[in-house]
């Protein structure tokens, strides 16, 4: 497996480290303004394009890993997770990558303050927090770049969750993906706000992994995506550098709408939007026509993330009563 080669290259002799008894780490989630959609290597989660996100400070997952004598078990938000569930199998398969030489058992507790699998990037903060916890547990002392590469092996977007603020995931060119990780963009934008508009807390019908694969294999429009991303990345970086909110909002919304349009053209079609998602989009477009500068982005789920500036917090909160707003 190529994953082991990457892990060996990063850990070297440290793969033999004996774990301490317990470690805890938090990682925030991130929302892409220019999306990652499609892979050039499914085993290593190497993307077809670069992508760019903003980290939601304080919203994410805390993971505690404890070494135990009994069998592996996982608790998510206080509830035991069945060992046959997709969540459990995916998590344990990831942990297995690191304990081949030293077969210990783990009790894992994940506490997330974001809804699981509803397109709110819970897997990004989940895998990033696991990697940070493992780094402590085994005393690896890895750089954030190396941790980003390891987090990517769990979930692509997790590689952007190792930093606060704006983060670019450069796709890299190397076959082993050693240059495909997060790069922080050292620019602040304190007036920028993101409001999480929850349409539905339920689990998504199709995982982003399967949806990406189906889109790449069947959509006649997928060939357009890499150029769209390259153009949008330039515009978003320019918007961040000059604090041009209209450019940022317009580009992020157009990027998300293009991604979803391409998914609609897959076969069978992939549609993460629900009637309430479309109603919210139409409400946002109407508000914009009326002069309120507000935009949205959407990931692999029905929920929307609203983009606006802090001057408009009161207005936006009065229109969308139950949004959860994060300021950068
Ligand atoms: O990292 P994954 O496999 O959960 O995929 C994330 C996909 C999107 O959220 C839709 C886009 C992105 O860049 O985060």
If one residue of 27, 28, 35 were mutated to test the ligand 1 pocket, choosing by the most ligand atoms within 8 A of its CB, it would be 35
- Confidence bin at 322 (pLDDT 50/70/90): confident
* Distance from Cα 135 to the centre of ligand 1, integer Å: 24
* Distance from Cα 110 to the centre of ligand 1, integer Å: 20
pLDDT above 90 covers a percentage of the chain that reads 87
* Distance from Cα 19 to the centre of ligand 1, integer Å: 31
Ligand 1 lined by 60 (C-beta under 6 Å): no
pLDDT above 70 covers a percentage of the chain that reads 97
In this predicted model, what pLDDT tens digit does every residue of 126-168 receive, in sequence order?
A: 999 999 999 999 999 999 999 999 999 999 999 999 999 999 9
- pLDDT for 118 beyond 60: no
What pTM was computed for the model? 0.95
Ligand 1 lined by 305 (C-beta under 6 Å): no
Average pLDDT estimate for 60-82: 94
Ligand 1 lined by 300 (C-beta under 6 Å): yes
- pLDDT for 108 beyond 50: yes
* Distance from Cα 42 to the centre of ligand 1, integer Å: 13
SS3 sequence of the chain: CHHHHHHHHHHHHHHHCCCCCEEEEEEEEEEEEECCCCEEECCCCEECCCEEEEEEEEEEEEEEEEEECCCCEEEECCEEECCCCHHHHHHHHHHHCCCCCCCCEEEEEEEECCCCCCCCCHHHHHHHHHHHHHHHHCCCCCCHHHHHHHHHHHCHHHHHCCCCCEEEECCCCCCCCCCCCEEEECCCCCCEEEEEECCCCCCCCCCHHHHHHHHHHHCCCHHHHHHHHHHHHHHHHHHHHHCCHHHHHHHHHHHHHHHHHHHHCCCCCCCCCCHHHHHHHHHHHHHHHCCCCCEEEECCCCCEEEEEEHHHHHHHHHHCCCCEEEEC
In this predicted model, what pLDDT tens digit does every residue of 193-230 receive, in sequence order?
A: 999 998 887 767 799 999 999 999 999 999 999 999 99
Average pLDDT estimate for 222-240: 98
Ligand 1 lined by 157 (C-beta under 6 Å): yes
In this predicted model, what pLDDT tens digit does every residue of 268-292 receive, in sequence order?
A: 999 999 999 999 999 999 999 999 9
Which is the closest atom of ligand 1 to the Cα of 259?
10
Which is the closest atom of ligand 1 to the Cα of 30?
14
Contacts of 314 (CB under 8 A, 6+ apart): none
* Distance from Cα 253 to the centre of ligand 1, integer Å: 15
- pLDDT for 120 beyond 80: no
* Distance from Cα 288 to the centre of ligand 1, integer Å: 27
């Amino acid at each position: 497996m190529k994953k082991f080669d990457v892990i060996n290259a990063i850990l070297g002799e440290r793969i033999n480290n004996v774990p301490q008894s317990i470690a805890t780490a938090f990682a925030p989630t991130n929302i892409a303004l220019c999306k990652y959609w499609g892979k050039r290597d499914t085993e290593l989660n190497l993307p077809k394009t670069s992508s760019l996100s903003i980290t939601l400070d304080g919203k994410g997952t805390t993971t505690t890993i404890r070494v135990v004598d009994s069998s592996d078990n996982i608790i998510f938000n206080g509830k035991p997770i069945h060992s046959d569930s997709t969540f459990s199998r995916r998590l344990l398969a990831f942990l297995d990558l690191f304990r081949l030489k030293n077969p210990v058992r783990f009790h894992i507790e994940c506490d997330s303050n974001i809804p699981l699998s509803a397109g709110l990037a819970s897997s990004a903060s989940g895998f990033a927090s696991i990697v940070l916890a493992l780094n402590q547990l085994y005393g690896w002392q890895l750089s954030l770049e190396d941790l980003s590469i390891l987090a990517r092996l769990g979930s692509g977007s997790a590689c952007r969750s190792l930093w606060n603020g704006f983060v670019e995931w450069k796709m890299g060119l190397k076959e082993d993906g050693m240059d495909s990780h997060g790069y922080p963009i050292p620019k602040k934008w304190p007036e920028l706000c993101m409001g999480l508009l929850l349409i539905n807390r339920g689990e998504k019908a199709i995982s982003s992994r399967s949806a990406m694969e189906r889109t790449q294999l069947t959509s006649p429009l997928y060939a357009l995506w890499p150029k769209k991303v390259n153009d949008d990345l330039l515009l978003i970086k320019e918007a961040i550098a000059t604090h041009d909110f209209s450019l940022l909002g317009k580009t992020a919304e157009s990027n998300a709408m293009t991604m979803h349009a391409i998914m609609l053209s897959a076969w069978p079609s992939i549609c993460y939007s629900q009637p309430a998602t479309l109603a919210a989009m139409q409400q946002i477009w109407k508000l914009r026509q009326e002069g309120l500068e507000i935009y949205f982005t959407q990931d692999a789920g029905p929920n929307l993330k609203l983009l606006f500036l802090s001057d408009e917090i009161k207005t936006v909160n009065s229109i969308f009563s139950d949004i959860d707003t994060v300021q950068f």
